[in-house]
Amino acid sequence: MAKRVFDWVMSSLGLLVLAPVLLLIALAVKLDSPGPVFFRQERVGRHGVPFRIHKFRTMRHAPVGQGLQITVGADARITRVGHFLRASKLDELPQLLDVWWGDMSLVGPRPEVPRYVAVYPAELKAKVLSVRPGITDIASIEYRDESAVLARAADPEHAYIHDVLPHKLALAARYVDQASVWLDVRLIWRTLVAIVRR
């Protein structure tokens, strides 16, 4: 309960304070390339319930289902504004709405698409999906340059599923075991520091 209250209060404050920034980013996305302001995608939430995550669109608009579901290196689909939004993590700000609605938490295992959740080991799947997914977590901090790492692989998707994902799941399971509001505050601070340093 304390975590949910913390999430609701902080997401409410964030949406209120950042409203002008959100509007400016939305305008920049719209002027930069044709298509919607938001990118919406089905992700797997708490207890395996699907929901639609919100981000500012950073790629050229294309029909659903086209292309990889991971971003690899200097992906040609990324727009000019999109490069900046991804580097600064500003594309994630609309997820404050997902937190406010209760689909997500400020901190928690990053939500995956059903395609990758399907390969979770059974013993880790139940644990990782027992909590609300988050905007940031330990894995988000450690894998800030994930797309660059995958770009060096001969088969990026294979590398993601067999090399990156198992480590992410281990970190997510550790978070679930240690979860607390105080840990969330520390991880939010570490995320902000990592963004500023970048």
Residue whose token pair is 């994930």 = 146
Report in angstroms the alpha-carbon separations of 166 from 42, 46, 97, 124, 169.
Answer: 21, 19, 29, 10, 5
- Retrieve residue 173's tokens: 């399971």
d(CA 37, CA 89): 16
- Retrieve residue 95's tokens: 């997820």
The torsion angles phi and psi of 103, rounded to 5 degrees, stand at -75, -25
- Retrieve residue 81's tokens: 């504004």
The per-residue pLDDT for 198 is 66
Q: Give whichever of 1-5, 158-162, 180-184 has the largest mean pLDDT.
A: 180-184
> pLDDT for 36-87, tens place per residue?
999 999 999 999 999 999 999 998 876 555 555 566 556 678 899 998 998 8
Bridge partners (DSSP) listed for residue 50: 44
The per-residue pLDDT for 1 is 79
**β-pairing verdict for 105-107 and 50-56:** unpaired
- Mean pLDDT along residues 164-175: 94
Is pTM beyond 0.85? Reply is: yes
The per-residue pLDDT for 145 is 75
- Mean pLDDT along residues 77-105: 93
> pLDDT for 116-145, tens place per residue?
999 999 989 999 999 999 999 999 888 877
Q: Give me the amino acid identity at 66.
A: Q
